Structure 1
Amino acid sequence: MEKWMRYIDIFKLKQRGFSISAISKKLGISRNTVYSYIKMTPEEFDNWIHTTMTRRKRLDTYHDQILAWLKEHQDLSGAQVHDWLKEHHEDFEIGESTVRRYVKELREKYSIPKRTTFRQYQSVEELPMGKQAQVDFGETYAFKTNGSRQKLWFIAFVLSNSRYKFVSWLDRPFTTRDVIQAHEAAFHYYGGMPEELVYDQDHLIAVSENAGDIILTKEFQAYQQLRKFGIYLCRKSDPETKGKIENVVKYVKYNFSKNRVFTSLEVWNEQSINWLARTGNHNVHHTTKKRPIEVHALEKQHLQKVSTQFSFENNHTVSITRNIRKDNVISYESNRYSVPTGTYRPKKSNVAHLEITEDNRLLIRLTPGGKIIANHILVSGRGQLIQDKTHKRKRSTKLAELETEIVTLFKDQVKAQQFISSLKERYPRHMGDQLAILWNLLQQEPMKVNHALDKALELRLTSANDLRDLLFSVTQEEPSQRHQHTQSESPYSHIHATTRKVESYIEILKGGQSA
């Protein structure tokens, strides 16, 4: 009936003097369709409709399988159906556009709607071969055979010129060591290394970008200086800079992993590599109109050769990081472990660095190799809260008594009272939280907190959080004995990570105070 209505509309517009092009635009159909409809008489058109309804299509062989997929996963795309057919049938050779049309017809026939989303991108200039690769992380969930969900993490690489992709998966969050291993696997997969790699400001790779001076994590900086590739850190809210890898992350999520059943990490990674060969790097890229695998054969000659031998032995301590929550706990292996009250800082980087000891204890630090702020016994099970009683706020002590006790712990009690008086004036409703932060600082760094207090009063800072930031900057200038010991045993002890002096923090805090 729909085709008959279109046929009648075309002839009505033709009789009114509309051109073929005008009819096409008005009805939203192609000019070829208008041409073919006009050439047929009503009898010929009726016979053609009956022919289309009775003739057998090549994809009818897979009708039941495709329909079952669409009913089970209503958000399947035509491109993903095409990939699944190739995965399940080795001799499948029907084109992707044909599969898309067939999927669209099935959706209309069986009323299976599909929600689509669109995102606008700005085109950027193409880079020369071997110049750049972009890197990003992704997360997704997959269903197991028993119906439960499995969270998965992946890191994706894409060569900017050829669009040749590589993906590595884990069933746990990545550590810095995992990231380095993934880089080595990607370089081996590519057959070489590009001149430059583009990243987000991820805490496994970079600490920050200080006015253009990139401050990398110590472990990754040692690796970068060994491999000698350039690094470009994207600014926040700058999708155009890394648009290629964002598209890859989306492609991996919605073409490979979506609706796929997870059996084991080894099988999942194997399926991912097969998907890259079959679809991810084989299909014609919509922008370049070329197959990435064919362009990579040329770009490979422009990549820098890397040594196939890279030892991870004696490398720096593995970086396990977790975010500190507002209730001053971190999550590890589905359980919660406490940190001292006041450790969480609003609108700050609340990253904790974890270390698992041989005697099954969990050590928590605010910086790699820094002072231990929490020490817990690892527990099994899920959903448990493991809390150190000393981490709780001293609720039984009145604020006045706690204030007096804090003042007596400072070397210069007059200055301490002056600082606390300024806290009372600025934070009358939050004095308990402010005093809790001071209490924790005195427990962790009883000597250095006095120097930080002098600086805070000099800069007229009136917040316990500012005092803590000053104390942190002072601590950064004095590496711990543990840190020195780690460096002496490392094969990269000749490589030194960039550090900032306390004056740089002071200048920043001055700016914040004047604002």
Structure 2
Amino acid sequence: MKFDGEIMEILAAYDLTGSLRATAELTGCSHHTVARHVAARDAGRPIAEPAFRGRVTDPFMPKIEEWVEKSKGKIRADKAHEKLRALGYDGSERSTRRAVAQVRAAFRLGQVRVHRPWITEPGMWLQYDFGDGPVIDGKKTVLFVAWLAWARFRIVIALRDRTAPSVFAALDRSFRILGGAPTYVLTDNEKTVTISHVAGVPVRNPQTVEFARHYGVTVLTCQPADPASKGGVESSVKLAKADIVPKDTNLRPEYASFAEVEAACEAFMVEVNNREHRATKRKPAVMLEEERPRLHRVPDTAHTVALGLTRAVPENTPMVTFETGQYSVPAHLLGARVFVRSHGVGADEQVVIVHVGSDGPVEVARHHRARPGSPRLDEAHFPGHKEKVPGDYTITPRSTAETEFLAIGAGAHAWLLEAAAAGTARMNVKMAEAVALAKISGTARVDEALGQAATYGRFATGDLASLLSAGGTRPPARSAAETSSLAQGTAGWAAIGQPAEDELEQSA
């Protein structure tokens, strides 16, 4: 086979000589080769194009196309090879895979859906969807994600379930965050929105109809199995899950409480809405300010039909009663009105409490079902509360004498509690005596003595003074020693019986 450069030399030599044999002699090849390349050039065919010899799968291509069409492009090549072998095909499985891949690619190309860019208008569309949230206390939460189409403004709210009251509360809160409600709200065909389909037409949930009428919006659903019609919110859900849900890719630690998840959602919203969007090259928070005048006003009162029964929180006890059971609510709701409803059945049944404030409906408490006489309490709802135990009295001086006695120290407090428990007589007199002794012997010594008296039950008259005397400091004992004694020693006795030195000298 000749290379392109060699072929060009052959053609140039032929143009120069005009003879096949002379050209073959000049280029060192057969005159038949020269004739073939000259004929190909004259016929307008590509130079040195290989001749197509056909493939072993060509006789069976119509059958392969039939199978691909019937399976909607999902047939496997190994199954197609088995069917071809039964029809007398003797080619390799590799050739079959190439043929099936070619036909499937052609089928997909014919089925490609052509998308036209969606040009949105301000104040028209809000899309919402859900994503799996973090696990709190062994239960998976839900991420409610809303997407305002024109401004590309994202809202992420953590929910504990996907029931209609929770969804409606999240939508109301979304409208208030945006500062208005759009004309259309688009979502999937969930039971909270669509209860069934008749001839392909979705039948709306009556609660959704009431909700839409209250806010003056139109709730629409996308076509079944057609998520492309709300791709904006689908991308927002993917982005929110990648950042908020703890994964190996973001190294985020597990959440200890539901409040931490809510704080993470708030931080995510601030971050994504205050950075430049890659499509608009503008910040969504800035675009929202431009779109807000196109949104219509949100009613002052939230839609509360699906939130449950109303209950008033007492002025002094953050507890509400619902179906013979009592449940606690946060202390800042004293005197407010809340909505209470049940969710679930059996052992997993819960009581959900919602408060409607300036920011819309917000879930403030969730408890398991309580039995009559056994209220459900959350210690976080009682800040600063100290459990009162019988016998654990708070010492509060009410006179000058009591104040002076208790000022002695912790021993005085202990003595007061123990002496009172023992029924000690004339306690005021003994307390005054302790104050007097503290001025003489020192506050620290008297406080220590009072503590000993409380420990050993010494509450009689004179016991405190006795303890002070027993525990008082004594001068150090002194003992006589050989070096410091004033008594005459026995060293002089050694001369007894010995002759005097003067007499010895005279005799000598």
The verdict on a shared fold, with TM-score over 0.5 as the criterion, is: no
TM-score of the superposition, structure 2-length normalised?
0.37
Structure with the larger RCO, 1 or 2 (CA within 8 Å, 6+ apart) = 1
TM-score of the superposition, structure 1-length normalised?
0.36
Larger Rg: 2
